[in-house]
Structure 1
Amino acid sequence: MAGRWTLARGVIHERASALDWAMDSRPRSDSRARECAGLGDGLSPAELSNLTPRAQIAEEWERVRLPESDRKLRVLIVGGAGVAGRNTAASLSKFCPQLQLVIGARNKDKGVQTVSTLGGNSEFVHVDINDFTSLQAAMADSDLVVHAAGPYEYADTKVLEAAIESKTTYVDISDHEGYSRRAKSYMNKAIAAGVPAITNAGANPGVSNLMAATLIHDAQTENRGQPQKLRYNYFTSGSGGTGPGVLSTTFYLLADEAVTYHQGEEKKLKPYSDKRSVSFGEGIGERDVFLLNVPEVASARRVFGVPTIDARFGTAPFFWNWTLLAVMKLLPVEILKDRRIVQFLSKFAYPFIRAVDVISGEKAAIRVDLECSDGYNTSAIFSHQRLAEAAGTATAAFVLAVLEGSTKPGVWYPEEPEGIAVEAREKLLRRAAEGAMEFQITKSFCRRKEKQGMKLGWIN
């Protein structure tokens, strides 16, 4: 039977072909399905029960049943008329049609237009993120608020403060280390108020953090030595279908030194330097990526304590990489940190980038690599046809996990077990993979007693 094969983690570790199918959302031929099915020979009935053919889910999304309530759960999306907010709302409506979605925005026309695409369980409310009273009023009857109003580089924490004050569960999609650090400073206030909150809960950061957490948890569970190196790699074609806000974030990051860790020592390196070629699997292939300062490097160091961590990003077509390198070299840091100039540059460049998107596509991919002390290596890859859709689905998956009770009071990173409980990670990742081209985990063993270079299930 052709379809999507889902292999439960922790059952087959040394059967490379079967493991390559883990959480893989691409349709397979009948012959390939039979080949994979044959790999189950010799497994116990309990193990075989974990190898299950599933129908493709691009059009048939998982329907989520949330805990019983005497009324419809109400989710407010601040920045709901923007690209990130719209895609989050669309994904939530597919996962959980019974949710009451509230699109919070300053622009009424865009907000009402967004509501018109969501069906009857949605409404518009005027919200100004710079007005604390406006935020509190919008949250008055809400069970959870999603802060999707980026960019976050110079954003304050009013949305989080209002959430704590009104005792509203909070999720944001921040992609800036400074903002997430400011959010974490409200830990004690959130605990005292009994408010669960997660920062960095999108695709990257967000899903990428949980991919790393899964790799590390598996390595530790299997006693594969100590994690030594953790590498995040990202790729996006053009804009990925996102808005000018993400382009602004890219310019801001070019002004920041890339924070990395080498053998436990923090090192700040030149942004968009130290090029590497990384394979992102089928549909994306090998791409050049460059150092960039992203929040998951710092959070991974704090949470996991891995001594060597870095993150890289690349884009396509190739001349966009050249353009970013030129911007970094030609424009003074002061200009790249000037909010008004960056917003002007983003709005000016965005139409050209969107025009090229027609040719290059809007694909996005994440690859996380882990190396351990005994030669055990493992990787996780996620890829999607459109970054904007992937980010919306990922954020929706976080929202559902929090509503299901996976998060304790406090402000947490995604990879902290208090943020997303260990036992809830796999379900969240499965939901985040809805509509993805590929989501897989592969492993390589290189033990001292074996020949060097022996690899099982490794992605070259």
Structure 2
Amino acid sequence: MSEKVLIIGGRGRIGSSVAKDLANFTDAKITITGRDPAAANNPMPAPGVQYLALNLTDHEAVRNAIKGCKVVVHCAGPFQYRDANVLKTCIDEGVNYVDVSDSRGFTSRALELKETAKKADITAVINTGIFPGISNSMVRQGVEKLDEAERIHLSYVVGSSGGAGLTVMRTTFLGLQNPFDVLENGNWKQVKPYTGRETIEFPAPYGKTGVYWFDMPEAFTLPDTFPQAKTVITKFGTAPDLYNHLTWFVANLWPQSWVKNSAVVEFLSHVSYNMTKVTDTMVGTGVAVRSEVNGIKDGKPTTFCSTVVHNSAAVATGIGTGAIAELILKGKLQKPGVWPQEQALATDLFEHLMASRQMPVQEQWL
């Protein structure tokens, strides 16, 4: 019999992309969820995918949906708004778990359940997708190329909407609300979101693009994973560059009471989404990630740089998350506990998965 996979939030663009990837690479019986019962009448992401109307506030219904599954994939963001109830329920029911979380607070709450998950013998991999996710594994790959890693610099750029819908817009504006801690030269310091612009050379079609400090869970999971690194930088930007300047304006010149107002966040998300309907046709909806790890190799200072690019950020996220779920389904990734991707996924498996998805990581020594 086929193993059962439940994709919570699978009706959205990210969840649908995960469903498509799993349908392509496994024979799992896939159920996607959404809040609207009428969505059952809409086309499914892939043949054989079933739909279940589910509200995450109904804990008993969530528990019943999770029972009997091999893997649950949590795609119902923004994760700034989510508690860890889905993960807790998976642990209670002995079901493996994967998510696309990108929130510092949610990541911390999930990691608090590590020992409980170990005792339940379930594997939970958080922060999967493209960034975080594939980006984390790119860093691990770079660290392992060196004898000693000293500095990690991760940069991301997304074209227009990224093809990912309103949820990603909300996530971006929620990420502007609070300063956050980063590791620099061995010391933790606080930075403001969307400051510290740098110009980074990404693969085509992006080229030189501005990126800014942005609060990602990698900013604290990577220092934990690779304690020899004294600096970890995570910066994000968008194309066209006009969006960077508009976002900088909101983050740095608007009153904090506005930036933290939920109605304002919702307004900005809808305005931005409508703007991207135009720019999507101009610059595309792709994504690029650049990982640069500085350190020592054979007694000499050196830098290992890797890049990956895809023409759809939503599809790339589906690939990154679907690949992890595939490994768990097939018994190739068994590590009881709760782990960010770079702690769960070995580099040889990562490289195999990227090759199988025809999404090669370009490598370069600088």
TM range (shorter): over 0.9
Distance 1:428-1:333 versus aligned 2 partners, 3 A rule: farther
Number of aligned positions between the proteins: 361
The answer on 1:128 being equivalent to 2:55 is yes
The residue matched to 1:129 in structure 2 has which SS? coil
Aligned partner of 1:82: which letter?
Answer: G
Counterpart CA distance in 1 for 2:162 and 2:143 is 29
Which 10-residue stretch deviates more, 77-86 or 280-289? 280-289
Percent sequence identity over matched residues?
Answer: 29
The answer on 1:206 being equivalent to 2:206 is no
What is the CA-CA distance between 1:168 and the residue it aligns to? 0.8
Aligned partner of 2:345: which letter?
Answer: I
1:31 corresponds to: none
Counterpart CA distance in 2 for 1:186 and 1:130 is 20
Counterpart CA distance in 2 for 1:230 and 1:261 is 10
1:384 corresponds to: 310
Aligned partner of 1:377: which letter?
Answer: T
Which structure has more relative contact order (CA 8 Å, sep 6+)? It is 2
The answer on 1:430 being equivalent to 2:355 is yes
RMSD between aligned residues: 1.6
1:168 corresponds to: 95
1:268 corresponds to: 190
Which 10-residue stretch deviates more, 193-202 or 331-340? 331-340
1:345 corresponds to: 268
Counterpart CA distance in 2 for 1:401 and 1:229 is 30
The answer on 1:323 being equivalent to 2:253 is no
1:77 and 1:145 in contact (8 A); partners too: yes
The answer on 1:76 being equivalent to 2:3 is no
Aligned partner of 1:134: which letter?
Answer: A
Counterpart CA distance in 2 for 1:337 and 1:316 is 25
Q: Which has the higher strand share?
A: 2
1:369 paired residue among 276, 292, 295: 292
- Residue by residue over 1:260-312, the C-alpha shift from the partner in whole angstroms, topping out at 9 and shown as x without a partner, is 21121111112211111111123321111111111111100011011111111
1:176 and 1:295 in contact (8 A); partners too: yes
1:298 corresponds to: 220
Residue pairs, 1:23-34, within 5 angstroms: none
Distance 1:249-1:410 versus aligned 2 partners, 3 A rule: same
1:81 and 1:111 in contact (8 A); partners too: no
What is the CA-CA distance between 1:256 and the residue it aligns to? 2.5
1:282 corresponds to: 204
Distance 1:114-1:258 versus aligned 2 partners, 3 A rule: farther
- Residue by residue over 1:384-443, the C-alpha shift from the partner in whole angstroms, topping out at 9 and shown as x without a partner, is 111111111111111112223313111001111xx2245422223334x53x4x521111
The structure with the larger Rg is 1
The answer on 1:334 being equivalent to 2:257 is yes
Q: TM-score, normalised by structure 1?
A: 0.76
Q: Which has the higher helix share?
A: 2
The residue matched to 1:204 in structure 2 has which SS? helix
1:249 paired residue among 160, 168, 171: 171
Counterpart CA distance in 2 for 1:232 and 1:349 is 25
2:330 paired residue among 404, 419, 431: 404
Which 10-residue stretch deviates more, 231-240 or 103-112? 103-112
Counterpart CA distance in 1 for 2:182 and 2:175 is 14
1:99 paired residue among 28, 41, 45: 28
1:108 and 1:126 in contact (8 A); partners too: yes
Counterpart CA distance in 2 for 1:394 and 1:87 is 10
1:151 corresponds to: 78
Distance 1:340-1:185 versus aligned 2 partners, 3 A rule: farther
2:209 and 2:241 in contact (8 A); partners too: no
1:118 paired residue among 46, 49, 74: 46
What is the CA-CA distance between 1:112 and the residue it aligns to? 4.1
The residue matched to 1:235 in structure 2 has which SS? strand
Counterpart CA distance in 1 for 2:40 and 2:155 is 34
Residue pairs, 1:136-147, within 5 angstroms: 136-147=63-74
Structure 2 residue ranges without an equivalent (≥5): none
Distance 1:348-1:284 versus aligned 2 partners, 3 A rule: closer
Distance 1:172-1:111 versus aligned 2 partners, 3 A rule: farther
The residue matched to 2:146 in structure 1 has which SS? helix
2:321 corresponds to: 395
